[in-house]
Amino acid sequence: MFDVTEVLPTPPWKKPRRPAAPSREPLTADKIVDAALKVLDTEGLDAVSMRRVADELHTGAASLYAHVANKEELLDLVRERVLSEVRLPEPDPARWQDQIRELAFEIQRAHAQHRDIARLSLGNIPVGYHALRVGECMLAIMLAGGVPSNVAALATDRLSLYIAADSYEGALIVSRYKLDSPEASEHFQAHLSEIHEYYKTLPQDRFPSLRQHVDELIQADSDERFAFGLDMLIRSLETYTLKPSDRS
């Protein structure tokens, strides 16, 4: 016997049958984090909420609480997932300055792939496993290079702040100027040209240095500026390093 509904059209006075609901896979914390990252990457950090993530998973917000206590824990898990992408070197005393630079760029790369995720690193003391392993690596590199422990401890904090703040500002610029398209990038460059011309018109008697050096002020791109800031910090650390004979 065949199903007549496969042959005959549905009469207009009858409501069509609802399609069978797809079978759902069990919800897990990893799937919730996957969904939260998808929301973050497409809509930004402010859009990540228990309700919005539940919508992404086609479920109710209440079902998330069996796996994630609240939004704060969800954001902690998201940050941990992003930091798990950071590749960590084995500390090499002969290359400690280069390794700090490489690690900083590695953290910045992970941030840049997830919009304004760097904001979660501001005002937060690291307690998650992957946040701790990044901090452990940074501190170990400096200690291996002969930076005194008290200096290395403070530098780990200041370097982490510099990386997060720079990454977050980069995300703000991308968001403000919509730099995810070639057209927007051209518009941003045009805006920089306008800034350049504006500085050139500043009163010479009040702003002589800004007028004279406006080319140097705007010529470097974001990577060059980030590298320059790192170089300033690392050079200062070199003044604190101990000679091998003085290390315990």
Q: Which of 48, 245, 241, 56 is nearest to 155 (CA)?
A: 241
4 is a domain residue: no
Residues 63 and 105 in one domain: no
pLDDT at 242: 76
Identify whether residues 54 and 99 lie together within a single domain.
no
> Residue 69 maps to which CATH number?
1.10.10.60
Number of domains in the chain: 2
Alpha carbon separation from 90 to 100, 113, 166, 216, 233 (Å, rounded): 11, 24, 25, 37, 21
Residues 37 and 151 in one domain: no
pTM score of the predicted model: 0.85
Give per-10-residue mean pLDDT for the chain (248 aa).
53 56 76 98 96 96 95 96 97 97 98 96 94 98 97 98 96 83 78 93 97 94 95 96 71
Same domain membership, residue 63 and residue 45: yes
Q: CA-CA distances (angstroms) from residue 215 to 186, 187, 240?
A: 18, 19, 34
Residues 6+ apart with CB under 8 A from 239: none
Report the distance separating Cα 96 and Cα 234, nearest Å: 10
Does some domain include residue 14?
no
In this prediction, residue 9 carries a pLDDT of: 66
- Determine the residue type at 90: E
Q: Answer yes or no: do 40 and 105 share one domain.
A: no
What's the confidence (pLDDT) of residue 54? 97
pLDDT of residue 245: 65
The pLDDT score that the predictor gives to residue 4 is: 45
CB 108 within 8 A of CB 82: no
Q: Domain of 220: which CATH number?
A: 1.10.357.10
The whole-number pLDDT of residue 185 equals: 78
